[in-house]
Amino acid sequence: MEQEEKEFNPKIVAFLCNWCTYTGADLAGVSRLKSSPCVRIIRVMCSGRVDPSFVIKAFKQGADGVFIGGCHIGDCHYSEGNYKTLRRVEFMKIFLEEFGIDPRRLRLEWISASEGDKYAATTLDFEKQIRELGPIQLVEV
């Protein structure tokens, strides 16, 4: 029997910081800009709240891509949170590769509250990239 190829709709989880990226996404919506429908947003107060274990959990539960959005460096609403995020994402990319997950499936972007267009463009670009990478293949241990 031929297996019908299910259409691949990437599942992208986005952790967005409340002050900048979340507001930027809101602006994109208010401005009626086209952004990726595959992105599922979880709001956090600061991108520094994002625990690496959330990212792992997300991939484990079937996310094809994880996007973290925060304020521009130097502009963090809580002054330094995004520096911690930057460090953690660098580190996460290294151990994601160890776990057999393509590090390109994790993206960190700084998007401010008035950059609705950047949010829209970034999500569309990330969706395109995930489509190219295909659905995530997790190794059962």
Partner 1 sequence: MVTVNIDGKNVEVLEETSILKAAESAGIWIPTLCYSELFEPYGVCRLCTVEVIRGKRSRLVTSCNYPVREGLTVLTNSDKVKWIRKLIMELTYSRWPNVPVVKDMAAALGVSEPRFKSLEQDLAPDACILCGNCVNICRDVVKASVLSFEGIGIGRKVVLPYNEQSETCIVCGACAQVCPTGHIKIKSLEKERGALQDWYLGPKTAINIPTFQAVPRVPIIDEKSCIKMQTGGCGVCSTYCEPEAINYEAKDEEIEIEVGQILITTGYQTIDLKQMPQYGYGRLDDVYSSLEFEHMLNSTGPTGGTILCKDGSEPRAVGIVHCIGSRDENFHKYCSRVCCMYALKFAHLVKDRTPAEVYQFYIDMRAFGKGYEEFYKRLLDEGVNMIRGKVAEISEGYLNNGDKPYLNIKCEDTLIGKFREIPVDMVILCPAIEPQFDASNIKKIFSISQSPDKFFLERHPKLDPVSTMTDGVFIAGCAQGPKDIPDSVAQASAAAARILSLISLGEVAVDPIKAEVMDEYCSGCRMCNSLCPYSAISFQEEKKISYINDMLCKGCGTCVSACPASAIIGKGFTDKQILAELEGILSV
Q: Which is nearer to partner 1, 1 or 30 (CB)?
A: 30
The stretch among 11-19, 94-102, 103-111, 123-131 that binds partner 1 (CB under 8 A) is: 11-19
According to DSSP, the β-strands at 39-44 and 12-17 are: parallel
Q: What backbone torsions phi and psi does residue 53 show, to the nearest 5 degrees?
A: -70, -25
Contact assessment for residue 123 and residue 111, using Cβ atoms and an 8 Å cutoff: no
E runs forming strands in 1-141: 12-17, 39-44, 65-70, 106-110
34 binds partner 1 per the rule CB under 8 A: no
96 binds partner 1 per the rule CB under 8 A: no
Interface with partner 1 (CB under 8 A): 11, 13, 19-20, 40, 42, 44-46, 48-52, 54, 57-58, 61-63, 75, 77-81, 84, 88, 112-115
